[in-house]
Structures are given as C-alpha cells and as structure tokens.
Amino acid sequence: MSVVSSVCCYCGTGCGVLIEADAGVVTGVAGDPAHPANRGRLCTKGATLHLAAAAASGRARHPEFRRDRTSVRARAGWADALDHIAEKFRSVVAEHGPDAVAFYVSGQLTTEAYYVFNKLARGLVGTNNIDTNSRLCMSSAVAGYKATLGVDAPPGCYDDIEAAGTLFIAGSNTAYAHPILFRRIEAARRARPDLKLVVVDPRRTDTAAEADLHLAILPGTDVALFHAMLNVMLWEDRVDRAYIDAHTEGWTALRDLVRDYTPEKAAAICGVPAADIVTAARWFARGPTLSLYCQGLNQSTCGVDKNAALINLHLATAQIGKPGAAPLSLTGQPNAMGGREVGGMANLFSAHRELDNPEHRAEVARLWGVDALPGQPGKTAIEMFDAVRRGEIRALWIACTNPAQSLPDQARVREALAAAELVVLQDAYADTETAGFADVLLPAAAWGETDGTMTNSERRIARVRAAVPPPGEARADWEIVTDFARRLDPERGVRLFPYACAEDVFDEHRETTRGRDLDITGLSYARLDAGPQHWPFAEGAVEGRVRLYADGVYPTGSGRARFHAAPYRPVAEAIDARFPLHLNTGRLRDAWHGMSRTGRVARLFAHADAPRLAMHPRDLALRRLASGELVRVKSRRGEVVVEVEASEAVRPGQCFLPMHWGARFMSGLGANALTLPAFDAVSKQPELKHAAVQVARADLP
Ligand code: SF4
C-alpha cells in the first residue's frame, strides 16, 4: 500500500489529504495533519473522496469521436481523435479566423493544465476566447479586488479566523460550502466566546443559525446594507480618518453617497431592522474584522458593486493588512485561484497582466517566444455560448466542466451546443449532460491520478499528486493539450509546448510571474514538497507573504486604495403578479457542483437524496400545498417539476432550490432551466442567485 500527499478536489478551502492506494486503486483517504488549511480534518465530501475515486461507473476511458452529427461517437486512438480536432480547427480558423474557436475550461484543472490551455488559445490559436466555469463563481470578486485594491489578491488568510474580533460572513453558507473553515470558526468561537459572528444571507442557513446576528436581507440588497453600515460608522465617528487620509482615494464621493443610506432607509430596502444594521456596523468597526464572502455577493448583476461596497468598509475602518482583519473572498472550486494566476479568463492575462495593455502583451509574447498576442477581449462564459448559438464561434473545446447543467438559461445553452460545428469535451466522465453534445470525447485523468499544483482561497499553493494511474487511456489534462498543440502546428507547437512533465509547465509559469505582485520565482516543486506556500514568494524569500498591505501601500499606481462609490441597484428580474416568488439557488452540504463525483457516493445522499424546493409554510398554505407534493416551478425561461418542502429557513415570498441536480436527475433541464443569463456589466458573472418564479401543484396546467 502507498500513501501520497495531495489536496481535496472539491472546494477552495484546499484541505490537505493523504491518499491511500493499493494495486492501482485508491483505497482510502485521511486528512493531512501537516496541512495548515485543515490540520487533519476533512468534511463529509473530503472523507469520501476515495469512494468517488474508486467508483468505476461513468468514467471516460478511451477517446471517441464522430465525423458528423448524423453518426454516433466511436472509440478511436489518441492520434486519430486529436488529428481530427486539429483538422477541424485549422479549417475553421482558415475560413472564419481564430475567434471562431473557443475554450471553456474549469477551476478544477491544475494550474499547469490552466497554463497550457491559456497558451494554446492565445499563443498558438491566436484568440482570447478562453473562459472558465470560475466565471460563474468568483469573477465579481476578481473585479472587486482590482477596482479597490489594484490587483486580484485576497489580502488575508485562514489564520485570521482565530485572530479576528468579528467574523462578517456575507453571501456564503460556509457551513455547507466550506465546511472545514466553518469548523475552524466554531472552534474559535468556543475558545473565545467574545468572537462575534455576523451573517448576511436571505436564508437562515446552518451558518446563519450559528450567528450572533443574522441579517436576513432581501435578495440582492447587500449594497444598500453595506452603505448603511458605513453611514452608521460615519455618524458615530467610527471610521479611521488617519488611514483614509494616508492610504486611500475617492473618499469624498463615497462619503457623500452613503449619507443618503440611513439605517432606516436601508432597513426598508433590505427588510431587516435598522437597529440590527447599527449593531452590525458597530461590531464591524470595533474589529479586527475578517469578512468571508462568496456566491451571494458574486452571482449578481451588481456583484462588483457588492464586493467593492464590502471592501469600502474594511478600508474606511483600516480593517486590512493586520491579523484578524481582511476582506477574504472564498473560492468555490479547488483551483479557481490558480486559474486567475495564469490569466485563464477571457479578460485576464498571465500573472495578473492586463489584456488591454500592449506592454503586458509584448512581455508575455516575449516570454512565450511568439511574435504577438491578440489584444481584443475574448468572450466570457455567457457571451461565449451566445456566440456559439449565433454561429460566430464554430468550434468549442470544453474541459472538466458541465455547462449543459451549470450555466443559466439551459434552453439557450443547449441550443448553442447543438448549433456548434464541433464540440470537444475533455473530461474524466463520459455520462455528464454535456457529454451528450460532444462530437469528440477526450478522457482525462481525475483526482488522485494527476500531478500539478493548486492554489486555495488564501493564496496558498499546494502540490497535487497522482496516487494511481488513470483508467484506460485517460491522460493528464496538460498532456492532452500539449499533444494537441504539437499536432495543430507541428513547427510552433513542438517549440512552444516542450513539456515532458507537469513540473516543466510549473517552471515556465513561475518565470512569467517574475516582478509581478504574485511573484513565485522562489518556489519549485521541491520547495512545495516541504509544504504549501502563500504567494507572493519571490526568489530569495524564505516564506510566502501571509498578509498583504500591512504597510498601507496598494498596487494601484498612486499607492492608495480606491473607494468605490456605486449606488444600490435591485436584482435584474423583478417579481410580479405572474412570477411572484424570489428563487434562490445554492449548495447542499454533501453534494458538489453537478454531482459528477459526489453523485456516485451513496453515503453522501443520506443528507439529501433528491432535489426539493424549500418554501415558507405560509406560502405553501396560500397555495394549498403540503410538504412532499410535486410542484411545477416556472420562470420566464423554463420549468421544472420537483418535490416541495416546508422550511422556515426561507422567508415568505422566497424559495430555494439546490443547484446540483441537472437534467439527468430531475424533470426539465434542472435548476438552471429557471435561472437567467443577465450578468454584471464589469465581471460578466451571471445572476444565478435570483430569478422570479411561480409555483403551483404539478398536476395543474
Ligand atoms: Fe474538501 Fe472543502 Fe471539505 Fe476541505 S472543506 S475536505 S477542501 S470539500
């Protein structure tokens, strides 16, 4: 039996795991006591990783492709499958240009795989059409950091949980989505009963139930709440004027804006008592305050404003750059952060460089050894699938994600997938909703079968390692891309993709970070073998920088952090007489994403064996409904039939549907049949957290 140290492949907490393997099969998993994120603990999902890994059903084992849509995919060799894609790509690019090709990748890829996909798209094909499913979970956090602090760098760390005086959780059911962090929060509160917990969430989640103060705001009203908290801080002179004067800009505009957001006015907008807003403001200003936030802020048409309005509070009270004080966004996927580092999003560029900066493009072109890189912005997730639907993008390569389950407005997404000339799916699983649309299936190695690195929510880079070989002919993601690049353009492909192992890719990526804010030139696989490290970790450093901005100097050009003064805006789709209920979608404790892994572990279904729509008992009574009945949930885009359950965790007028079940598991096209594709104008992140719906008994027309 062998034991290999790696990282959990689910949430962005990034827990260290020890994988036990025997005769090429993963046989067990344990929390790594040496890993600083979890110190040996695992949640229910992490503790059953071995069961998901050992489940043989659904795995993609061999390449398959079909020459046209009238035939079915047939098993093929790697050479034939990749040559087929290369031939199609060359023909599409020759006829329609490089922007007729697009890549839709995933926050579950290793940083190395992300890096080679990025280089393939921009450096070899010549398009910025590379985006990721992380667009759906944290692009508003990226834009929020850049708008206020200058770069996309979470300034705090997990150890701030134990150092804080107030924990301010907004738009995150941490108890379910990042369970090990929540265990740390519970333990810290047991050790220090004066550690306050404030939770902002429309639902009374398990996280909110633990709070000293739960602000059950109406959906999408976070900006009004945060502005009102700043109004209280101003009125009670709880802001840090010396810090504001020395380290920030834009204060006057923000101060003038928030004067209008009295607690009473915000109470009317947000649906919470004004006195609770005052209490939250006082606890926040007293500090040190660590904010933890996730999809409730990010998945919104004003997601950047919500992120920035929260960061405003940290800057105004100097709650940043010191132990226990930081705005710390949580990433939903294990390597959403690593993807950001390599520029694996349509509007980003390698190592936090800017796509619209010609000098940055020239730097990366020089590092990669290409003449030039494209400057026009690529299509982001929603835009990308719309462009496929319109026929502007003709060849789409999807890696390690399931857009036919996870993107909003599924009818539109499926129309796009059906309209594409070529859909390539590179995935470990062959039975996802998206696999049904794939012309080419490329079997990828899964968790426990591949080498590389990942970065968790606190900027900590850790090694992931293979414990067993992948099944059949499946290969590591970085290796598939490297092979393809050499076939697409034999001369340039071989030169630009010279990698023999994941470490070769890491070493090249490391060089692109030299002199940047996320400089990791002091890191190597050998250094990471001694334990995970925070970035930046420049050459010569003995350790990574745990907290940023301790000196109050920000990478904004002026050196000052920028206040963001944007007024509150309501959700994109208002409720009305026809669609009178607010629908919220989200996560359950023991399911993850579209359940391609957790759906294979029977033990995890003990928590929730089927999707259920949670509604307040009053709303059920109004409709003469009872728990357990089937209801039809309709939005302007589609409908699903699902069991309903009474829940006082949702307020009257609202309902909640888990997002994990797609068309494979429930009638209609899953929860995202209902959601809308409206997105934030800056971050392009869709408003998955709110849609207007109606609910009636399923047997009614
Ligand atoms: Fe895995 Fe997240 Fe659970 Fe840790 S908290 S074991 S990273 S799912």
User: Distance, CA 7 to ligand 1 centroid (Å)?
Assistant: 9
Pocket test for ligand 1, best of 7, 29, 42 (most atoms within 8 A of CB): 42
Distance 296 CA to ligand 1 centre (A): 19
Cα of 335 to ligand 1 centre, how many Å? 12
Å from CA of 429 to ligand 1 middle = 21
Identify the structural domains of the chain with CATH numbers, from first to last. 2-54 (3.30.200.210), 64-137+334-534 (3.40.50.740), 139-329 (3.40.228.10), 581-697 (2.40.40.20)
Distance between CA atoms of residues 86 and 487, nearest Å: 7
Atom index in ligand 1 nearest the CA of residue 47 equals 6
Helix (H, G, I), strand (E, B) or coil at 578: coil
Question: Which of these, 374, 382, 371, 381, lies nearest to 358 by C-alpha position?
Answer: 374
Choose the residue to mutate in 9, 13, 333 for probing ligand 1, maximizing ligand atoms within 8 Å of C-beta: 13
Distance in Å, CA 476 to ligand 1 centroid: 22
What's the 9 CA to ligand 1 centre distance in angstroms?
Answer: 8
CB 17 within 8 A of CB 49: yes
Testing ligand 1's pocket by substitution, the residue of 9, 11, 174, 457 carrying the most ligand atoms inside 8 A of its CB is: 11
Atom of ligand 1 at shortest distance to CA of 179?
Answer: 5
Provide the β-strand partners of residue 527.
none
CA 659 to ligand 1 centroid distance, Å: 18
Ligand 1 proximal residues by C-beta, below 6 Å: 8, 10-11, 13-15, 38, 42-43, 45-46, 178-180
695: DSSP letter: E
Which atom of ligand 1 lies closest to the CA of 14? 7
Mean pLDDT per 10-residue interval, the chain, length 701 residues? 96 98 96 97 97 89 93 97 98 98 97 98 98 96 98 98 98 98 98 97 98 98 98 98 98 98 98 98 97 97 98 98 98 93 93 95 97 96 98 98 97 97 97 96 97 98 98 98 98 97 98 97 97 98 97 98 98 98 96 91 90 97 97 97 97 97 83 97 98 94 70
Q: Of the residues 6, 176, 178, 183, which should be mutated to test ligand 1's pocket, given the most ligand atoms within 8 Å of the CB?
A: 178
Write down the H helix ranges in 501-616. 502-512, 525-529
Q: Which atom belonging to ligand 1 lies closest to the Cα atom of 38? A: 4
Closest ligand 1 atom to residue 31 Cα is 6
Residue pair 583/674 in contact by the 8 Å Cβ criterion: yes
64-65 and 74-75 strand pairing: antiparallel
Please tell me the residue having the least CA distance from ligand 1 atom 4. 15
Closest C-alpha to ligand 1, atom 3: 43
pLDDT of residue 668: 80
* 225 C-alpha to ligand 1 centroid (Å): 30
* Ligand 1 atom with the shortest distance to the CA of 7: 7
Q: Would strands 452-455 and 612-615 be described as parallel, antiparallel, or unpaired?
A: unpaired
| Per-residue CA distances from 404 to 16, 272, 401, 414 (Å) | 31, 37, 9, 6
**What is the complex's ipTM, to 2 decimals?**
1.00
The alpha carbon of 179 and the centre of ligand 1 are apart by a number of angstroms equal to 7
Q: Mention every residue, 6+ apart, whose C-beta is less than 8 A from residue 83.
A: 487
Q: Ligand 1 center to residue 274 CA distance, Å?
A: 36
* Dist. CA 467 → ligand 1 center (Å): 19
Q: What strand order describes the sheet that includes 452-455?
A: 452-455, 460-464, 533-534
Nearest atom, ligand 1, residue 44 CA: 3
Instruction: Tell me which residue has its CA closest to atom 2 in ligand 1.
Output: 11
Rounded distance from Cα 379 to ligand 1 centre (Å):
31
Q: Among 38, 207, 457, 587, which residue has the most ligand 1 atoms within 8 Å of its CB, making it the best to mutate?
A: 38
Q: Which pLDDT value is given to residue 459?
A: 98
Q: Using alpha carbons only, how large is the chain's radius of gyration in Å?
A: 24
Distance CA(565)–CA(221), nearest Å, equals 16
Task: Tell me the CA–centroid distance for residue 177 and ligand 1, in Å.
Answer: 8
The dihedral built from the CA positions of residue 453, 455, 456 and 462, taken in this order, carries a sign that is positive
Sign (positive or negative) of CA dihedral 374, 379, 381, 384: negative
What is the sign of the dihedral through the CA atoms of 573, 575, 577 and 580?
A: positive
Amino acid 664: pLDDT: 80
Ligand 1, atom 6, lies closest to the CA of 46
Burial of 366 (C-beta count, 10 Å sphere; 0-12/13-18/19+):
exposed
Residues facing residue 658 across a β-bridge: 586
| Preceding amide of 617 cis, omega within 30 | no
Any residues with CB less than 8 A from the CB of 66 and at least 6 apart, and which?
A: 72, 73, 74, 439, 440
User: What is residue 331's DSSP assignment?
Assistant: P
The CA 599 to ligand 1 mean position distance, Å, reads: 16
For residue 493, report the distance from its CA to the centre of ligand 1, in Å. Answer: 37
Residue length of the chain? 701
42 CA closest ligand 1 atom index: 6
